[in-house]
Structure 1
Amino acid sequence: MKIETAKRWFLWHKWTSLICTIFLLMLCITGLPLIFHHELEHVLEEEKVAEIPEGAQKKSLDELAAAAEALYPGERVRYVYWDEDEPNKTLFDVAPRPEAPYDSSKYVVLNDYTAAVLDRPTTDGVMNFILRLHRDMFLGIGGMLFLGLMGIVFVIAIITGVVLYGRIMKKFDFGMVRKYKSRRLHWLDTHNLIGIVTLAWATVVGITGIINALHDVVLFAWQQGQLKEMVAPYASKPPLEGQYASLDSALLVAEKAAPDMKASIITYPGTMFTSKHHYGIFMKGKTELTARLLMPVLVDAENGTLTDARKMPWYVITLFVSQPLHFGDYGGWPLKIIWALFDLATIVVLITGLYLWVARRKAAKMQWSRLNEKIEEYDEA
């Protein structure tokens, strides 16, 4: 590699690293507890078990939804959720209107057998604060897109770092750390070694982070694409008013349309994941991988008949796969521990990178100061 070319690669690596380092440090520090967010939530929040009275029968979804709405007079359910880790429970999102902003939502968890209130989750917890900071720095879509841009800059820094390390390793043994040289060289070699060891992980997390930052863009593309096609026959019809068809019957229709899947979320008419005329019932697979992939089934909320059911387009599937991979949420504890170790190693890379930049600037200032002193001595002589 020519010297001029090497300098250009070095400048690209230096400035891309400096631009994104502070934000990456924030993402790595907040990402560490998010790797274990399921486990930490169980520790930080009191979990109530859904007790099943002897001989009790499961309540219908319609009964549970009515019980949730009764807790907040004048408001209606707009989303229904299930969590496999919390059996015999159903979570309802109740709001003044379907299109109301998320901060107006009230959440309530009901026992499937007794309709008793088990919990009223809020978004004020520690884990939600960390997630918001990690996801968009409390700046909404602007913050998400900015962090996505920092992800792109990070990937460029990785590529330029690999090119530079390859040039260095032509002269030295792979993994070399010059312990007995200057402190700066010691930390430079440590920085390079840890950086190359974490290369694959950092690339995966960086790319999946960029994809996740496009969450709202992907949602908009799906709304304007597949969803719009699915509800096209209803485009000229007025929004539904009054009572909707039974939730239970709509769920049966969805299960019949996707017999090898199970319901994960039900969205009410008027919400962003469906039309003003349909229940959007999102079905998921039953394996570790397919459980991450949702399939929308649209059921006419007026008469309870099937309107359409389609597999999600590739760009939505890419997002669904990227979200859990970003946090190592695929292989249970072993993968989470590996993700956490690499996260800590990346924090070391970022801190040593900052140290090297500061040390280099100090060294340059000292050299310049010494040069000025020699010039002054020469002038005095």
Structure 2
Amino acid sequence: MKIPSEILRVYKTLHTWTGIVSGLVLFIGFFAGALTLFKQPLDRWASPPALAWQSAAAVDDLLVPEVLAAHPAARAGYTVHLRRQEHIPGPISWQAGPEGRGEIETERWYAGRNAQGQLQAAPLAQSPLGELVDLLHRTAGIPGRLGDEHLGVYVMGVAAVLYFLALVSGLVLYLPTLVKDFLALRRGKNRKRFWLDAHNLVGLASLPFHLVISLTVIVFAFHDEFYDALGAAVYRAQPMFTPPAGMGRPGPEAPLLSVSRVLERVQQEAPGFEPLRLEFMGLDSPRPMLRVALVDGQHRLHGPEAAYLVLNPYTGRVLNDSMLPGRENAWSAWVNTFFAVHFGSFGGDTGRWLYLALGLGGAFLFYSGNLLWLESRRRRQNSSRGSGGGLAVQRMAAATVGSCLGAMLGIGLALLAAKLLHASDWGLDLQTRYLAAYYLGWGGCLLHAFLRGASRAAPVQLSVCALVALAIPLSSWLGPWAHGSTWGVDLGALILALALAWAARLTRRRLAGADPDTVWARGVAQVQRLN
């Protein structure tokens, strides 16, 4: 396929600068996003063993009325957990304080019966590890808020726009050599060619995934703005969303549906789905709702882990079934697909592992893209041969190494803090401790890279990341507790530790024989002495 050189030149410039501007932010988003696919196992891994508690049938008898009578705050909303898991110490839970949009919940009340059959309720510290990783995925760790939303969400939305442009321009650049170079991985003295081949192969093989992610991130980041624009241009004086029929409380003395009655109703409406939890919300408000989370590995799910059926908690009337596979209309089917392809909530565990590989491949795409840019720019910015590039290139190299490896180290330190500091009392809540651990790792690597240079910092930081990843399974085997059902977290960390150690070794070898006319040349003599 022949494309005029002028057009290729324009698209190359577009691809380079959109990728460079968004790459560092998107690396954090993709690496953390890959881990959010196993958010529930991470929470279970970081939580101490739960106390014994009753089945859903036992909850139905007397426990719910007792909890509501003894703890009025639960009437604002409570959850009945139907599946026993390590991080859920009781069958009923509720949030006592106000819940902010996008905030990490670190304390929640749990209720159950003790060995004597008496009601026992207490606020317990939640391990927010999964929520923290998800927050990093959505905000790239950028602090601050803009209105009701995190500032980082809008930054990620802008980065996703640039990311989409980089994908389209990269595809145009690759079209002339698509057939010849698609599966080529040319090894040899020209290491830039090998990195370019690997970059192109990963990018093109996962192009549909990246296009979907870029578009969904844009919508998630700016959905309020889209709604406002639709309201002003299309709906005008009419409400965009109207309350469903049957919403409301039948009377002041109307009783809530029992758990067993709810499960019967769910079986009627969603046969074949397994109820995961019952979320009672706004019981004393004009719009009470019961949201039932349902799991099934064979369907596209609206949320990261579940589909939803919304009922009236007093009458059992269906208020919303558009988030339930097989019950959608044309619009909700499109919306559910939109959510499912972003969260990877289809295909069960196989789909999650596939999305994990695609997410980590995306992180590699941004890291390798920055390295290719650095190598391409070095000759234009060299002040003299062997200087390792101009100041701008050196700074970008340091930012690439420090930010990318720092994000990996920061998340690893947060995992260790979740396991080892769970019961400690430093006057700080768990969210603050985890964020401090993350920023310690990320900021330390970034500072180290700028002070020592990218070439000296890279092998050291890769080695440190490998040690921290190795410490994660050790913290389970030798630490305060281990969960048999979360062995995948420890195994994944062990595999990552081996991969990072291998990458550190290759990086040292690469630096030992680096061409003086490269951005990685600074510090080569020191690396040679170390070897």
Same structural fold, with TM-score higher than 0.5 when normalized by the shorter chain? yes
**Is this contact kept in 2: 1:208–1:326, CA < 8 A?**
yes
Q: Which amino acid aligns with 1:194?
A: V
Write the distance in 2 (CA, Å) between the matches of 1:189 and 1:198. 14
Contact 2:104 2:132 in 1 (8 A): no
Within-5 A mapping of 1:85-100: 85-86=83-84, 90-95=91-96
1:7 maps onto 2:9 in alignment: yes
**Among residues 268, 275, 286, which one is paired with 1:277 in the alignment?**
286
- From 34, 39, 42, the equivalent of 2:41 is 39
Q: Does 1:179 align with 2:187?
A: yes
| Separation in 2, partners of 1:320, 1:119 | 37
Matched, 1:75 2:73: yes
- Mapped to 1, the partners of 2:199 and 2:19 lie a distance apart of 12
Q: Which amino acid aligns with 1:38?
A: Q
Alignment of 1:240-259 (within 5 A): 245-248=254-257, 252=261, 256=265, 259=268
- For 2:69 and 2:9, locate their aligned partners in 1 and report how far apart those are by CA, in whole Å: 65
Of 30-39 and 318-327, deviating more is 318-327
Is 1:295 the counterpart of 2:303? The answer is no
Alignment pair present for 1:357 and 2:373: yes
1:23 and 2:37 correspond: no
Between the aligned partners of 2:98 and 2:202, the Cα distance in structure 1 is 51
Distance 2:129 2:41 in 1: 13
Q: Greater CA radius of gyration, 1 or 2?
A: 1
Pick closer, same or farther for the CA change 1:201–1:269 going to 2, 3 Å: same
Q: CA deviation at 1:107?
A: 1.9
Q: What is the TM-score normalised by the length of structure 2? A: 0.54
> 2:102 and 2:18 mapped to 1: Cα distance?
36
Letter in 1 for 2:372: L
Number of aligned residue pairs: give it.
348
Q: How does 1:51-62 map to 2 (within 5 A)?
A: 51-52=53-54, 58-60=58-60
2:163 match: 154
**Equivalent of residue 339 in structure 1, options 347, 355, 358:** 355
* Counterpart mapping for 1:187-336 below 5 A: 187-213=195-221, 225-226=240-241, 228-230=242-244, 245-248=254-257, 252=261, 256=265, 259-261=268-270, 264-269=278-283, 276-283=285-292, 287-288=296-297, 289=299, 292-298=306-312, 304-305=314-315, 309-312=319-322, 318=334, 320-323=336-339, 325-336=341-352
Q: How far apart, CA to CA, are the structure 2 residues paired with 1:189 and 1:100?
A: 43
Q: Tell me if structure 2 keeps the 8 A contact 1:68–1:94.
A: no
Separation in 1, partners of 2:7, 2:197: 21
2:154 matches 1:145: yes
Q: Distance in 2 between matches of 1:334 and 1:350?
A: 25
The alpha-carbon distance between structure 1 residues 206 and 309, as it changes in their structure 2 partners (threshold 3 A), is same
**CA contact under 8 A between 2:196 and 2:372: conserved in structure 1?**
yes
Distance of 1:124 and 1:105 partners within structure 2 = 7
Residue 26 of structure 1: SS of its match in structure 2?
Answer: helix
Residue-by-residue CA offset, 1:9-43 (whole Å, 9 max, x unaligned): 11221122112101111112212322222222222
Find the aligned partners of 2:348 and 2:134 in 1 and give their Cα distance: 20
CA shift at 1:179, angstroms? 2.6
Q: Which residue of 2 aligns with 1:377?
A: none
Q: CA deviation at 1:250?
A: 9.7
Counterpart-to-counterpart distance in 1, 2:102 and 2:354: 37
Q: For the residues of structure 2 that align with 1:182 and 1:314, how far apart are their CA atoms?
A: 52
Give the Å deviation of 1:325.
4.0
Q: Distance in 1 between matches of 2:360 and 2:98?
A: 44
What SS is found at the alignment partner of 1:60? helix
Say whether the 8 Å CA contact 1:77–1:94 is kept in structure 2: no
- C-alpha root-mean-square deviation of aligned residues, in Å? 4.4
Q: Is the 8 A contact 1:18 1:354 kept in 2?
A: yes
SS of aligned partner of 1:5 = helix
Offset of residue 225 of structure 1: 3.6
Shift of 1:60: 3.4
**Which digits, 9 at most, give the CA deviation of each residue in 1:67-125, with x for residues without a partner?**
26736xx6343223345542795343233579999678952233489575588454563
> Residues 63 and 52 (structure 1 numbering): CA distance in 2 closer, same or farther, change over 3 Å?
closer
Q: 1:134 maps to what in 2?
A: 137
Matched residues in 2 for 1:17 and 1:344: separation?
Answer: 17
Structure 1 distance, partners of 2:131, 2:102, is: 17
Report if the CA contact (8 A) 2:247-2:287 is conserved.
Answer: no
What is the SS of the residue equivalent to 1:230? coil
SS at match of 1:361: helix
Unpaired stretches in structure 1, ≥5 consecutive residues: 235-239, 271-275, 371-381
Q: Give, in whole Å, the separation in 1 of the partners of 2:118 and 2:22.
A: 49
CA distance in 2, matches of 1:91, 1:317: 32
Shift of 1:45: 0.7
Whether the 8 Å contact between 2:300 and 2:345 is mirrored in structure 1 is no
> Which residue identity is paired with 1:128?
E
Q: Counterparts of 1:215 and 1:46 in 2: how far apart (Å)?
A: 37
Alpha-carbon distance change, 117 to 23 in structure 1, aligned in 2, over 3 angstroms: farther
